[in-house]
Amino acid sequence: MAIKRAYHCLCLAALLRAAPTEAVMLGTVNVPKEKFVVYILIGHSNMAGIDYPHSDPVAIPHGWNYPIATKQWVLAKEPVNSKTTGLSGNGSGGPGMPFLKAMAAAYPDYYFGVVTNASLSSTCRGMNTGNNGSGLDPSDNRYWDSTYLYNQIVTAAKDVQKDVTLGGILCMLGTVEATRTNATVCNAFSDDISSLARFFRRDLGMPELPFIMGEYEAGASGSFAPTLPLPAIILSQIKLIPGKLPFSATVNSQGIPMLDDHHYKADKGQPEWASRAVAVIQANKFFPTGSAAISVSAPRHAAAFSGPWLRTEQGAMTLQSGETEYRLDGTAVGREGAERGRPDISQAKDKRLSAPQSKAQGS
């Protein structure tokens, strides 16, 4: 009996060794799943980019993009003065290119990709009734569960998920809420963003997927100035997110060079934001390495977390017990021990979608 059991173990081990490794062809290179880390980029015009003359047209071998329209991995680049050929297809000169290059420099043994549909004038939940540069109906130009933008980006992420390691979500939202919605929407912003992150985690089967949120643009001016009532609310709301959402952090925006009243410069501001996002990933141990990089499905109502993003050094975080309190160079990490289930989001009774709006203009 012992010999037979040993024989079965040897056979099983041989089968496991022979099992094909999940991988994806990037040009002529077959890259294993655990070596190709992909980030989901969502947000408004600052994420899409509007500084077209200073877009980055230079590709690198380890930086890739998955255009929503073509559904094929291509080397990431953004031709100068071309809005429609940027990473998202909706702009150019955002943080995507410098982020890919910064990650490749920080982790030279890995390949990196982005999946993005960042859209001008987009919001999280409340509808924009002011200036809208997206070409979409305001009800579609949101990232709330089951809306057009949400379904589009989740579908794309699922398309690639089996062949890549999803590293996290990078988000820039809030300036549209701060200038083209109302106080009700703004005061619920941290709850709405936290729910949005949970929708992604639920639909991708990754309850620990890191969520990295850009803080309100500190250098904004005019009707976007952070000292004004609604922008001030959004600024403070964003800083509440890590306290409400586990596995999340914020990117400090102080001192980032501005292009105009609410956008970063493509050649200076966006690279600075991207470098700070990489620093957040490193400081919080959000980068998936080794066997932990392989994503696995988890129960929708997980009671606690453990696994890929265990952080045990500075700002000690014990995922099993949910103890978290961390802040370094303006970043923060969530304090919560359990992922919550999907909240009731019946839009039919959501008064925030149609409340009187503020009328500041912008993209």
Q: Residue 289 has what pLDDT?
A: 80
Closest CA to 45 of 267, 362, 335: 362
Q: Exposure string (b/e) for 311-325, b if CB count within 10 Å is 16 or more?
A: beeebebebeebebe
Matching residue, tokens 């590293």: 167
Q: Residue 121 has what pLDDT?
A: 98
Q: Residue 185 has what pLDDT?
A: 98
β pairing state of 36-43 and 165-172: parallel
Q: At what angle do helices 189-204 and 148-161 cross, to 10 degrees?
A: 40
Matching residue, tokens 């002011």: 130
Phi/psi of residue 96, each to 5°? -60, -50
β pairing state of 326-328 and 331-333: antiparallel
How many Cα atoms within 13 Å fall on the side-chain side of residue 25?
3
Alpha carbon distances (Å) from 266 to 51, 238, 244, 260, 271: 6, 23, 31, 11, 7
Number of Cβ within a 10 Å radius of residue 219: 19
Average pLDDT, the chain: 82
Phi/psi of residue 104, each to 5°? -65, -35
Question: Kind and range of the H or E element at 189?
Answer: helix 189-204
Q: Which of 48-62, 155-169, 274-288, 306-320 has the lowest mean pLDDT?
A: 306-320
**Strands of 231-342, DSSP E:** 248-251, 326-328, 331-333
β pairing state of 211-214 and 248-251: parallel
Hey, is 211 helix, strand or coil?
Answer: strand
Domains in the chain, please, with CATH?
21-353 (3.40.50.1110)
Closest CA to 308 of 285, 332, 327, 340: 285
Distance CA 138, CA 131 (A): 10
pLDDT digits (tens, 9 = 90+) for 86-137: 999 999 999 999 999 999 999 999 999 999 999 999 999 999 999 999 999 9
pLDDT digits (tens, 9 = 90+) for 182-229: 999 999 999 999 999 999 999 999 999 999 999 999 999 999 999 999
Sign of CA dihedral 338, 323, 211, 163: negative
pTM of the model: 0.80
Distance CA 336, CA 230 (A): 27
HEC-encoded secondary structure of 77-115: CCCCCCCCCCCCCCCCCCCHHHHHHHHHHHCCCCEEEEE
The answer on pLDDT for 15 being more than 50 is no
The mean pLDDT value for 298-307 works out to 30
